[in-house]
Structure 1
Amino acid sequence: MDDDAGTTGPTRPAPTTGPRQTWAGLPWPVRTAVTWSACLLVIAAGLWLLGQVAVLLAPLAVALAGTLFLAALLDPVLVRLRRLRVPAALAALLSILLLLGILVGVGALVWNLTASQFGELSQQLDEGLQRSRDFVTSTLPVTDQQLDRLVEQVRQGLSSGAPDPVSGARRAAEVVGSLLLGLVLLFFLLKDGRSMWRWVLRRMAGPRRDLTAEAGRAGWRTLGAYSRGTMIIAAIDALGIGLALVVLRVPLALPLALITFLGGFVPIIGATVAGAVAVLVALAANGPTTALLTLAAVIAVQQIEGNLLEPLVMRRQVQLHPAVILVVVTAGTLVAGVAGAFVSVPIAAVLWRVLDTVQRHRSGEVTRTAEATG
C-alpha cells in the first residue's frame, strides 16, 4: 500500500473578504467620494455644534468681540498715555471716558441741531408717499385698491413679526447687560491686556510659543488696522454724503450722515442701507429730481471709497472677498442681529490673518527642514 496515497499536500487558505479587501476592491472614485463625504459630515456636525453654542452664548460672544474691537481702536490712545507715565488703570479709564465723551457729544449735537426738523419731516414724508403712490398707480398696471391691499398685507406681516413685550424686555435687558459687561471687560483688557498675553505665552514652550506670539501679533495688528481704517472710511463716507445732502437741501442731513457713519462698520450691506435711507428721505422731502441727485452722490462717494480709499487705508491686511463678506455679515446677522453684523467681519478678518500666519510659519519650517536635510 502506498503510504502517500491517503495524504494530501499543503492546503491553501481560502481567500477572505474582510473590510480591508472590500474597501480595496472598490473603484478609486467611490473611495474618494466616500472619504470626502465622511469629512464633510464631520465638518458639518462640528459647525452645527459651534452654531448652537454661538446662539446660546450670543450676548457674551458679541460683548467679547465688541470689547476686542474697541480695545484695538483705543490702543494707540492707551499707548500714548502710558508713554506719558500715566498709571495703567488711569490710562484705561481715560481712554474709555474719551470714547464715551465722543459718542455722547456727537449724539447730543445731532439731536440739538435736528430735533426741530422731525415734525416737518413727518409731513414731508406723507406728501412724498402720496406722490410715490400716484406715480406707481399712473405708471404701473396697479389700481389703488390693489396697492392698499399690498400695503395692508405688509403692515400685518410686520405687526405679526414684531416681538411681544416680554421678549422685547428680555432682549433689552440682554443688550444693557452686554453693554455693561463690555465696558468692564474693556477696562480690564486695556489695563492688563498685555500682561495677560505675556502670561499665556509663558505657559507655552518651544516652537509653539513663537508661533502663538507671531499669530497673536498678526491678529492684533489686523484688528487694529480694521477698526481704525473702518472708522476713517466711515467718517469720510458720512462727510461726503452729508455735504451732498446739505447742498441739495435735504432735511435731517446730520442724522443721515450719522446713519451713514454707523453703516460703514457693516461692509457692503451697511452702505447700501444707509444710501437707500438717504434717497428715500430726499424723495419724500424734495421730490424725484433731488432723490436722483442724492442717489448719484451716494454712488459717487461709495465708488471713491471702494476703489480708492479702502485699498489705500486698509492696505492688504484685512482684504476679504466680497462674497466672503456677504456670507459672514449674513451669518452674523442671523446669529446676533445688528450687533452680529457689526462684529462678524472683524472676527473673520482676524481669523483669516491668524490662519494665514500659521500656514506661512509651517511652510517656512518645512522649507528650512528640506534645505537642512538636502
Structure 2
Amino acid sequence: MAAEEPGTRTGDPGPRQSWAALPWLVRTAVLWSACLVVIVAGLYLLGKIAILLAPLAIALAATVFLTALLDPVLLLLRRLRLPAALAALCTVLLLLGILVGVGALVWNLTASQFDQLSQELTQGVERSRDFVTSTLPVSEAQLDRLVDQAREGLSGSSPDPVSGARTATEVFGSALLALVLLFFLLKDGRSMWHWVLSRVSGANQSVAAEAGRAGWQTLGAYSRGTMLIAAIDAIGIGLALVVLRVPLALPLALITFLGGFVPIIGATVAGAVAVLVALAANGPTTALLTLAAVIAVQQIEGNLLEPLVMKRQVRLHPAVILVAVTAGTLIAGIAGAFVSVPITAVLWRVIDTVQQRRSTSALVPTE
C-alpha cells in the first residue's frame, strides 16, 4: 500500500485548508501585519545606511543640485566652442569666485554687526517674555523653569571638541568631494547618462530617457527658481526693514536669503528673527509693522511669484514639503533640510512620468 502523503489523512487538514479555515478578518490582519513588518524593517535598514553614509549622500545631492543650477552656463560655454574640460573648469571657477566674493563682501559688511544682532535678539526675547507673563496665565517662575530646561537640553546636546573637529573635517571633505564631482559631472554628465540608457533595452529605454529628462528639468527649474525666489524675499524684506529703520537690515536679509532654501520652515524662522530684532530695537509698533511686511512679502511670493517661477510641475503640496523637510532634518540635520525638498520633487516627477507613459501604452490597442 502506498504511503499516504502528509496532510491527506482524514482529520488532518493541509496548510492551505487550515489557512482557508481562518476567518477573513484574521487572514487580512496577518497579511497586513507581515507587510508592515517588512516595510518597517526596510525603512530601518535604509535609515541606518543613510546615517552611515550621510556625508557622501549630502555631497552627492549638493553636486547634482549645483550641476543642474550651472548647466545653462556650461551649455553657453560649449556654444562658444570651448572644450568640455575647459568649459567645466571655467564653470566651477565661476562658482567659486561668486561664493568667495559674496562671502567676503557680506562678511566685511556684517561681521561687526553680528554681536549686535545677538544682543538685539536677547532683548527681543526678554520683551516677548514680559508680554507672555503679562498677557497669559503663566508666571515668571514657570517661564524661567521652561527656559532653563531648554538651555540644559541644548547644553547637554552640544558637541564636544573632538566631535566638533570630526564634524568640521567631514564638512570640509564633503565640500571638496562635491567640487571634484561637480567638475566631472559637468564635463562627462551627458555621456554618463547615455551610457546608462544604453544598458536599458526595449521599450523601457524611451521611458527611462523621458523620465530622466523630466527629472533633470525639474531639478534645474527648482534650483534656479529657489535661488531667484530667495533673493526676491531677501530684497523685499530687507527694503521693508530699511524703511522701518530696523537695525541690522543686511544681516537679516542674508538670513532671509538662506532661509529661502528651506521651504516654509526657513521663511518662518527668518521672519521670526526679523520681528524679534524689530521688537527689541524699536518697540511693538515697529515689530507689528515688520510682521505685516514679512507676511505680505511671503504671500506675494507664495501666491504670485512661486507659480510663475517654479511652474506647475515643480510645486509640491505643503504637507509633503513639511514631511520631507522634517525627514531630511532628522536624517542629516540642516544639510538634509536643504536637499530633502528637491529630491522629493525630482522623485515625484520621475514616478509621475513613468506612470503616464505606462497609462498611455495601456490605452494603445495592440494589433
2:325 is aligned to 329
- Is the contact between residue 117 and residue 251 of structure 1 (CA under 8 Å) also seen in structure 2? no
Match of residue 355 from structure 2? 359
Q: Mind listing any 5+ residue stretches in structure 1 that lack a counterpart?
A: 1-11
Matched, 1:273 2:269: yes
For 1:305, the equivalent position in structure 2 comes to 301
Partner of 2:52: 56
User: Which of 81, 91, 112 is equivalent to 1:95?
Assistant: 91
Matches within 5 A, 1:214-363: 214-363=210-359
1:247 partner amino acid: V
Change (3 A) 1:116 1:50: closer
Rounded Cα–Cα distance in structure 2 between residues aligned with 1:60 and 1:115: 31
Give the count of matched residue pairs. Answer: 360
Task: Give the deviation of 1:117 after TM superposition.
Answer: 3.4
Displacement of 1:168 in angstroms is 0.9
1:73-102 deviation line (CA, Å, top 9, x unaligned): 000111111011111111112112222222
Distance 2:37 2:117 in 1: 54
Identity value in percent: 79
**What is the aligned-residue RMSD (CA, Å)?**
2.1
Per-residue CA deviations over 1:30-61 (Å, capped at 9, x if unaligned) read 33332222222222211111111111101100
The verdict on how the C-alpha distance between 1:129 and 1:53 changes in structure 2, with shifts beyond 3 A counting, is closer
Residue 158 (1) aligns with residue 154 (2): yes
Determine the C-alpha separation between the residues in 2 that align with 1:161 and 1:13.
65
Matched, 1:28 2:32: no
> Which entry has the higher C-alpha Rg, 1 or 2?
1
Q: What residue is the counterpart of 1:372 in the other structure?
A: 366
Distance 1:306 1:241 in 2: 14
CA contact (8 A) 2:114 2:251 kept: no
Give me the whole-angstrom Cα distance separating, in 2, the residues matched to 1:156 and 1:81: 54
Shift of 1:138: 4.2
Question: 1:308 is aligned with what amino acid?
Answer: L
SS of 2:314's equivalent?
coil
Q: Offset of 1:196 from its aligned partner?
A: 0.7
- d(CA) in 2 for partners of 1:94, 1:46: 43
Q: What is the TM-score of this pair, normalised by structure 1? A: 0.90
Paired AA for residue 230 in structure 2:
A
How far residue 104 of structure 1 moved from its aligned partner, in angstroms, is 2.1
Q: 1:167 to 1:123 in 2, by over 3 A?
A: closer
How many Å apart are 1:350 and its aligned residue?
0.9
Q: 1:145 to 1:201 in 2, by over 3 A?
A: closer
Contact 2:125/2:276 (<8 A) preserved: no
- Determine the C-alpha separation between the residues in 1 that align with 2:21 and 2:139: 69
Query: CA shift at 1:239, angstroms?
Result: 1.1
The aligned residue for residue 182 of structure 2 is 186
Query: Which residue of structure 1 lines up, in the alignment, with residue 192 of structure 2?
Result: 196
Distance 1:140 1:76 in 2: 54
Secondary structure of the 1:266 match is: coil
* Correspondence for 2:5: none
Seen in structure 2, the aligned counterparts of structure 1 residues 214 and 131 have a Cα distance that, compared at 3 Å, is closer
Unpaired runs of 5+ residues, structure 2, are 1-7
**Counterparts in 2 of 1:148 and 1:23: CA distance versus 1, 3 Å:** closer
Q: Residues 108 and 145 (structure 1 numbering): CA distance in 2 closer, same or farther, change over 3 Å?
A: same
